[in-house]
Structure 1
Amino acid sequence: MSIRPRFLATAAVALAAATALAGCASDTASSEAALTVTDPWVKTAATEDMMSAAFGTLVNTTDEDVTVVAATSDQYPALELHEVVDGAMQELGDGMVVPAGGELALEPGGFHIMVMELPEAIEPGDEVDFTLELADGSTVGFTATAKDFDGGNEEYHDSGSDDMEMEMDMSSDAPEAEPSH
């Protein structure tokens, strides 16, 4: 009986185990784990409203800033990243930065994902799947539940520039958040 074949077999098993563990380690360190979305919701809207918006809280669990550069949805293909500044809605060309170890609230009157050119209504209880694209090319998916929200009462007007002027009534708070899954 030779010790060498047994040694090679043991080494092969150890190498396979180390490779499997390395794969697990890289999954936990991925950008998908770096950013989570808590309490996501989307405002209900009829197709004649033409627009809606998605909200929630982006949570960065890393020690580096994370930048969201785009959002997509198979259900509603025309999405833009927006922020409301001095009553004017602005598209964010450079994306949304979620600070290291911090959060960024997506809320009416602030940062949000604009859902434009609705091909179908968004009804209460509908679930809308979104994917966020990060600056490093990775993606983070989440599902937002549609809720009635009258607090924004947004009216959008083309101001002749890249910004949209917006009148808002913020008399109501956002709908109660449900526990995230």
Structure 2
Amino acid sequence: MRKFLIVAAALALGLTGCGTNDGVATTPPAAAATTLTVKDPWVKAADAGTMTAAFGVLVNDTDRDLTVASAASPASPMELHEMTMKDGAMVMQPKEGGFVVKAKSTHELSPGGDHLMLMKPAHDIKAGDQVTFDLKLSDGTTVAFTAVAKPFVGAGESYAPGMAMPSAAPGMTMPSPGRS
């Protein structure tokens, strides 16, 4: 009888750890609480070799601040970028320290603001294309997401080195890649 109870208990524990709902595996609550999600992700359509950017809303439903330390995509080398004032001009530059997403909060990635920079796409990114990304958090966690490409003229942003962004704000420029 004792042997039967031990086997029954082991089976019960094993089944609760691998629960499904109509054939769909469930995520353990602890795993879901360790990361963030990306809401409404999209990438600006661009020709091969032309800098472009990805946007969306980083959503942190956890009880602790999370930091996006880097981004990767098979489509292009990546950098985290921000817009900031330098010498009276708005410039685009790599974001030192990454994007901090406060606990129970969001962080917007948008044209003219923080964004994920695709430095040199290997192929054209056409409207409707699906582009995959991985965000690496400072705790080592990786968050994968897919963004749809959209045609976007926006506020006249240019993601080419040294190009002005006249429609967004007079004097907006971007330093050459690698400069801070």
Distance 2:74 2:100 in 1: 24
Cα-to-partner distance string for 1:122-179 (whole Å, 9 max, x where unaligned): 1111110011001110111111111111124334445xxxxxx7524239xxxxxxxx
Count of residue pairs brought into register by the alignment: 157
Distance 1:142 1:19 in 2: 25
Contact 1:109 1:168 in 2 (8 A): no
Distance 1:71 1:117 in 2: 14
Distance 1:142 1:135 in 2: 17
Counterpart position of 1:5: 3
Structure 1 unaligned spans of 5+: 159-164, 172-181
Residue 18 of structure 1 deviates from its aligned partner by: 6.0
Structure 2 unaligned spans of 5+: 20-26, 170-180
Please say if 1:144 is aligned against 2:147.
Answer: yes
Code of the aligned partner of 2:96: G
1:122–1:8 Cα change, 3 Å: closer
Instruction: Spell out the pairing of 1:75-114 with structure 2 (5 A cutoff).
Output: 75-76=75-76, 78-86=77-85, 87-114=90-117
Scaled by the length of structure 1, what TM-score is found?
0.77
Counterpart position of 1:26: 30
Contact 2:57 2:108 in 1 (8 A): yes
Q: Which protein is richer in helix relative to its size?
A: 1
Code of the aligned partner of 1:83: E
Distance 2:17 2:148 in 1: 39
1:168–1:81 Cα change, 3 Å: farther
User: What SS does the aligned partner of 2:168 have?
Assistant: coil
User: What SS does the aligned partner of 1:47 have?
Assistant: coil
Cα-to-partner distance string for 1:48-100 (whole Å, 9 max, x where unaligned): 5x200000000000111110001001122x11000001211110131100111
Distance 1:106 1:98 in 2: 11
Contact 2:157 2:168 in 1 (8 A): no
The more displaced of 3-12 and 38-47 is 3-12
Q: Please list every run of at least 4 consecutive aligned residues from structure 1 whose deviation after the TM superposition is greater than 4 angstroms.
A: 17-21
Cα-to-partner distance string for 1:2-58 (whole Å, 9 max, x where unaligned): x3333333333344346557x8343333x3xx311111110011235x200000000
**Percent of residue pairs bearing the same amino acid type:** 42
Counterpart position of 1:179: none
